[in-house]
Amino acid sequence: MIAILAPHRRAAAGLAGALLCLIAGVWPQPAAAQGRLKATYDISMTGVSIGRIVWRVDIDEKRYIASAQGKASGMLSVLVSGEGSVVTQGVVADGRMIPSDFISRTSDDEGSSELRMTFEDGAVKEVIGPPPPPDKRVAVTEADRRGVSDPLTAVLIPARAGGDALARGNCDRVLPIFDGRRRYNLALSFKRLDRVRLARGFSGPILVCGVILQPISGHRADSMLVKYLAGRRDLELWFAPIAGSAFIAPIRVLLPTLLGTLEIAAEQFDAVAMPTPQ
């Protein structure tokens, strides 16, 4: 998240791919419940479309897999080319998602890259990918790699006891995230209830959480973007339920940047309960 909107050309070229790390659903119901989500998001900056993301999530009583693909579009595709994909999978246990494998691939006019992470016992076991840029960054410690989740799994939020997707307490949490290079927290808090009506898929009430970015390591200490975003109170994540599962998923993201407000908004959000195999 920290590096997504860095004000240089390569960051712009890889914008759609990097934004996949913001997106990804979860609340306790019977263990046999299964849910499936297919969603399409438009990425816009100050109202101008710059990219699209297609996201899929499959959840059963024991495992989950989530994947997303995105690319630059609109005005941005005329200036630069950029696309990317993210896949994460793991187990469902104790009412939450626990990742085992995470793969991120990006491709732009300066080349392609791939990053792979594996997890074990709630900690990052291995990271395979290109080295970080050769600039001064806050060192990532071994402690920073423990008790974390990948960016996609982290925002698949389990609801509090009782299974109410709109409960205020669903926002009362801190999401510890490691994306392979950077370690940061997203501190969520209840902001309001709202409603969304899409032309395709979901229509109904949603839960809006305020978000505070807490950078920990892996970022440039002198980064203007980090200084601008850290501690701001106007970031928002909007959540809607995935039918048949115990989880809620982002349906909209609002992120202030140095260039204006970035919005990732679902145009299609089809969440359905899947029959349990007999």
pLDDT tens digit string along 268-277? 999 888 765 5
9 and 240 Cβ atoms separated by less than 8 Å: no
What's the one-letter identity of residue 205?
Answer: P
- Is pLDDT above 80 for 169? yes
- The average pLDDT across 169-176 equals 95
Q: What mean pLDDT value characterizes the chain?
A: 82
State the pTM of this model: 0.84
Rank 70-79, 90-99, 239-248 by mean pLDDT and report only the highest.
90-99
At residue 246, the pLDDT reads 85
Check pLDDT > 60 for residue 30.
Answer: no
3-state secondary structure of 264: strand
Q: What are the pLDDT digits (tens) for 76-133?
A: 554 455 788 999 999 999 889 999 999 999 887 778 889 999 999 889 999 999 887 7
Beta strand extents in 122-246 (DSSP E only)? 123-128, 157-158, 173-178, 183-197, 200-201, 203-217, 235-241
pLDDT tops 70 at residue 278: no
Of 221, 270, 219, residue with least CA distance to 249:
270
Q: Which of 229, 252, 228, 226 is nearest to 239 (CA)?
A: 252
pLDDT bracket for residue 74 (50, 70, 90):
low
Comparing 26-30, 109-113, 150-154, 179-183, the range with the smallest average pLDDT is 26-30
pLDDT > 90? residue 54: yes
75: its two tokens: 């005005």
Query: What's the pLDDT at 78?
Result: 45
Tell me which of 244 and 206 has the higher pLDDT: 206
Distance of alpha carbon 20 from alpha carbon 15, whole angstroms:
9
**CA pair distance 109, 81, nearest whole angstrom:** 6
Over residues 196-220, mean pLDDT:
93
Q: Any residues with CB less than 8 A from the CB of 121 and at least 6 apart, and which?
A: none
CA-CA distance, 194 to 196, in Å (whole number)?
7
Whether the CA torsion 171, 235, 228, 69 is positive or negative: it is positive
Q: Is 256 helix (H, G, I), strand (E, B) or coil?
A: strand
The better pLDDT of the pair 259, 129 is held by 129
